[in-house]
Amino acid sequence: MAKPLTSHRPILAVTLKLGALFLFTGMSAMIKALSADFPPGEMVFFRSLFAIPVIFVWLIARGEMRQGLIVKKPMGHFWRGVLGTGAMGLTFTGLGLLPLPEVTAIGYATPIFTLILAALMLGETIRLVRIGAVVLGLLGVIVMLWPRLGAGASLDQAATIGALCILGATIARAFVQIHIRQLVQVDHAAAIVFYFSLTATLLSGLTVFFGWTMPTWEQAAILILTGLVGGVAQILVTSSYRFAQASMLAPYDYASMLFAIVIGYLWFDELPTLVMLAGATLVIAGNVVVIWRERQLGLDTAKTRPLNPKA
């Protein structure tokens, strides 16, 4: 939904990005707090439904309502919605079974899986540097998941099921990223965000037949707040890219780990283990290598691009 870079204002861009990450982490904490009382499908429904009004207001304010409603690949949006809804449902399930910092750390593997899928599905070239980054990231994932899925782990343990859910959500989000790369070639980013929220609302609404829980007024307020906070966070992160390049903002994604550790400790009395932190460090290192390599390739392209005599 972001417009092209309008001006280079890095402090504002970083502030918006950090604000979005804090809100997303807070939203995850609210979901985690409610996970014992509500099924994931019901929480996905509230998260998606009440993000729509926020998105509507923003599209109207920016004069992008028309772009947000017209699409050229409706089935592409449908499958993006199916994958995204599945990823959200798995994440909400995992949040009820794992510490918040651990869920956040495993989620950092999404760019690594996206890189692998881009090579397999889109034919993108992965050279030595990025292969090394993938190996490093996957090693980090193995380290983080080993206590949950390794020797001695049982599939009937809640933490093991939670780890499998978050791993599945991470892979599903990688597929989502591949779909988005294809959709942005023909449709406006506003349409991608709007129709995802709409599809997620409709799909998660079908889970009412599997049994929902009637919330109290206080619980209903929190459920509604997850959607509003998620919608505002989406706007903030999208707006940040109007004032700085994606490569500059990408490293700030890892501030969410700090937010998760603080919120997890204050709200749920959770602390990350040394094994989890070690694995997260490897995954982050792999992602940083990918970010660095993408930036180098961008600089090399800029150097070899012919000068515009009219510029």
pLDDT score recorded for residue 52: 93
Q: Given this model, what pLDDT does residue 154 score?
A: 63
Residue spans per domain, the chain: 10-119+148-272
CA distance 192 to 133: 29
Asked if 7 and 243 count as a contact pair (C-beta separation under 8 A), the reply is yes
Mean pLDDT of 14-24: 94
Report which residue type is found at 161.
Answer: I
**Residue 287: which of 101, 114, 83 has the closest Cα?**
114
Surface-to-core class of residue 268, CB atoms within 10 Å of its CB (0-12 exposed, 13-18 middle, 19+ buried):
middle
CA-based nearest residue to 136, from 288, 293, 282 = 282
φ/ψ of 108, rounded to 5, equals -65, -15
- Alpha carbon distances (Å) from 235 to 23, 79, 80, 224, 243: 11, 23, 19, 17, 13
User: Residue 301: is its pLDDT beyond 50?
Assistant: no
Structure tokens at 281: 């460090």
Q: What's the average model confidence in pLDDT over 169-194?
A: 86
Distance CA 102, CA 158 (A): 14
Q: Which pLDDT score is estimated for 308? A: 40
- pLDDT at 156 (0 to 100): 62
Among the residues of 35-157, which ranges form H helices?
A: 40-49, 52-62, 65-69, 74-95, 100-107, 110-121, 128-149
Q: Which has the higher per-residue pLDDT, 48 or 59? A: 48
Q: Please give the Cα distance from 254 to 105 (Å, whole number).
A: 9
| Residue among 193, 185, 217 nearest 81 (CA) | 193
The mean per-residue pLDDT over the stretch 213-231 comes to 95
Given this model, what pLDDT does residue 155 score?
60
Confidence of residue 291 (pLDDT cuts 50, 70, 90): confident
pLDDT of residue 194 exceeding 90: no
CA distances for 241 relative to 188, 195, 197, 247, angstroms: 15, 21, 21, 10
What is the Cα–Cα distance from 31 to 27, expressed in whole angstroms? Answer: 6
Distance from C-alpha of 191 to C-alpha of 202, rounded to nearest angstrom: 16
184 token code pair: 């942005």
What confidence score (pLDDT) does residue 213 get? Answer: 95
Whether the pLDDT of residue 9 is over 60: the answer is: yes
Segment 233-282, tens digit of pLDDT: 988 988 887 888 776 787 888 999 999 999 999 999 998 899 999 999 99
The reported pLDDT for the residue numbered 298 is 58
pLDDT of residue 36: 93
Query: Residue 88 above 90 pLDDT?
Result: yes
| Amino acid 310: pLDDT | 36
pLDDT in tens, 101-111: 999 999 999 98
The whole-chain average pLDDT of the chain stands at: 86
pLDDT on residue 261: 94
- Find how far residue 25's CA is from the centre of its chain: 11
Average pLDDT over residues 104-132: 86
Q: Give the whole-number percent of the chain exceeding pLDDT 70.
A: 90
CB 38 within 8 A of CB 47: no
